[in-house]
């Protein structure tokens, strides 16, 4: 099948309805507390890292002052363990008074004043996964209105301490309740992760109508093996998962762990590239106050972000899985462009992989290539011409691929800055 035919099939598949809040037309981006900071509530002995308003204010400052916000990282997301162990006298959730003494509305205003958005965590069950008050079916409307009153911009609704029947009722109910508040609140559903992630237990058509994004699989851990297991599950099931994604509704393979303790630089580039190919939400879970420069460079790479944020919103696919340990991934992008990722699972040495664009189902023609991580344009390639990429162990080579004829036409329109802006990749104006 030619890439043009595949592109048409994929583009048609994104036409179903999404949650009626107008949000997250491209995958949401931001920072999320869970993987890095978990349920650390010991503010007496670990005040810098405990789940408290100070932690989220610190991360909001970093997003606003260190160039993240301008790249699209706009959400500051609270996860579990933020609340008091008891609801208030009116049956409303309330934050822990010691760790959030100023209250959530104050924190929301602090975040909003910096041009950012605040996300919060809830659980459709008797308790959250950390043992805090959950949102039972009779509390759905109350909690949705509470979040709206507080100025919340996104809700992640987990599924601990609930059953399949309660989830089937509760997740759509919360969607309606959030819409009823009149406040645009992005809605992240963990429903499919609690039902195995696949049909017949999971109805992705319904999910696309009630949720902006959803967790399909287990939590990511701070290790390369965890990244691999998640990527394998998503691409092994791509025929089911890929059609479910599109503007306003995204599969969520969980957080970026780049800048923590478990990944090398090459593995960090691999996670970023694979998540971009998957059109995945990009929620970092790290300590932005002490992030090393190499991790920052990966997370702030404008080319990867532009591919992830492509407005067409088509999730990419794995094309080839070689016995050599090399895998090739492809994602169609706006204006006849595409992204290619060459990934090596090998652990021995850089591997020289030979192929051609024709073998990767590209139509006849000449293509311009931009190497995302080298941040430079390569020589044009004919579809029939073999080429070799050298891929580091557990690393990637990531290309932005564009028809040369169309590129020449756009260069006439947009000028010589089409692909270079200083030392950074500047995507074409139409992306």
Indicate which residues carry an active-site annotation.
158, 219
The closest alpha carbon to 188, from 159, 227, 160, belongs to: 159
Q: How far is CA 128 from CA 121, 239, 348, in A?
A: 9, 32, 43
Q: Distance between terminal CA atoms of the chain?
A: 26
Cβ neighbours of residue 277 closer than 8 Å, sequence gap 6 or more: 307, 316, 329, 330, 331, 339, 341
3-state DSSP call for residue 298? helix
The closest alpha carbon to 256, from 38, 30, 52, belongs to: 30
The closest alpha carbon to 71, from 249, 371, 301, belongs to: 301
- Check residue 107 and give left, alpha or beta (phi > 0: left; psi -120 to 50: alpha): alpha
Q: How far is CA 352 from CA 66, 284, 391, in A?
A: 37, 31, 6
60 burial via Cβ count (<10 Å: 0-12, 13-18, 19+): buried
CA distance 122 to 180: 18
User: Are the CB atoms for 367 and 403 separated by under 8 Å?
Assistant: yes
Instruction: Tell me which long-range contacts 41-50 makes (C-beta under 8 A, separation of at least 24).
Output: 41/81, 41/96, 41/99, 43/98, 43/99, 49/287, 50/99
**Tokens in use for 289?**
């106050």
The closest alpha carbon to 257, from 233, 237, 241, 280, belongs to: 280
Angle between helix 140-150 and 104-113 (nearest 10) = 50
**Rounded to the nearest 5°, which phi and psi values hold at 184?**
-65, 115
User: Are the CB atoms for 187 and 148 separated by under 8 Å?
Assistant: no
Pairing mode of beta strands 154-158, 29-32? unpaired
């Amino acid at each position: 099948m030619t890439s043009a035919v595949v592109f048409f099939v994929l583009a048609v598949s994104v036409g179903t309805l999404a949650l009626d809040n107008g949000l997250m037309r491209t995958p949401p981006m931001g920072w999320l507390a869970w993987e890095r900071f978990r349920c650390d509530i010991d503010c007496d002995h670990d005040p810098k890292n405990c789940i408290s308003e100070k932690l989220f204010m610190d991360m909001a400052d970093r997003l606003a002052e260190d160039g993240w916000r301008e790249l699209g990282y706009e959400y500051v997301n609270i996860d579990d363990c933020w609340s008091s162990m008891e609801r208030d006298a009116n049956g409303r959730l309330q934050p822990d008074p010691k760790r959030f003494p100023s209250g959530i509305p104050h924190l929301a205003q602090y975040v909003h004043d910096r041009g950012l958005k605040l996300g919060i965590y809830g659980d459709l069950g008797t308790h959250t996964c950390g043992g805090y008050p959950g949102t039972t079916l009779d509390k759905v409307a109350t909690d949705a209105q509470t979040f709206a009153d507080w100025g919340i911009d996104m809700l992640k609704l987990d599924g601990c301490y609930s059953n399949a029947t309660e989830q089937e009722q509760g997740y759509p109910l919360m969607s309606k309740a959030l819409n009823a508040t009149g406040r645009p609140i992005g809605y992240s559903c963990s429903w499919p992760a609690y039902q195995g992630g696949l049909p017949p237990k999971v109805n992705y058509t319904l999910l696309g109508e009630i949720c902006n994004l959803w967790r399909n699989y287990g939590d990511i851990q701070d290790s390369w093996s965890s990244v691999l297991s998640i990527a394998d599950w998503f691409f092994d099931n791509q025929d089911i998962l890929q059609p479910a994604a599109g503007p306003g509704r995204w599969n969520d393979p969980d957080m970026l762990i780049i800048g923590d303790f478990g990944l090398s630089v090459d593995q960090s580039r691999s996670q970023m590239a694979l998540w971009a190919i998957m059109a995945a939400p990009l929620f970092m879970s790290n300590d932005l106050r002490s992030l090393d420069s190499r991790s920052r460079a990966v997370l702030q790479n404008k080319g990867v972000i532009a591919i992830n944020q492509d407005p067409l919103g088509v999730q990419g696919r794995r094309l080839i899985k070689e016995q050599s340990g090399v895998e090739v991934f492809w994602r169609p992008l706006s204006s006849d462009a595409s992204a290619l990722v060459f990934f090596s699972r090998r652990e021995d040495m850089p591997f020289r992989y030979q192929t051609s664009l024709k073998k990767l189902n590209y139509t006849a023609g000449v293509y311009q290539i931009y190497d995302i991580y080298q941040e430079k344009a390569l020589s044009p390639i004919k579809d029939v011409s073999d080429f070799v990429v050298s891929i580091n162990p557990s690393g990637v080579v990531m290309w932005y691929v564009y028809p040369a004829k169309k590129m020449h036409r756009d260069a006439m329109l947009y000028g010589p800055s089409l692909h270079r802006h200083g030392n950074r990749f500047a995507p074409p104006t139409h992306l």
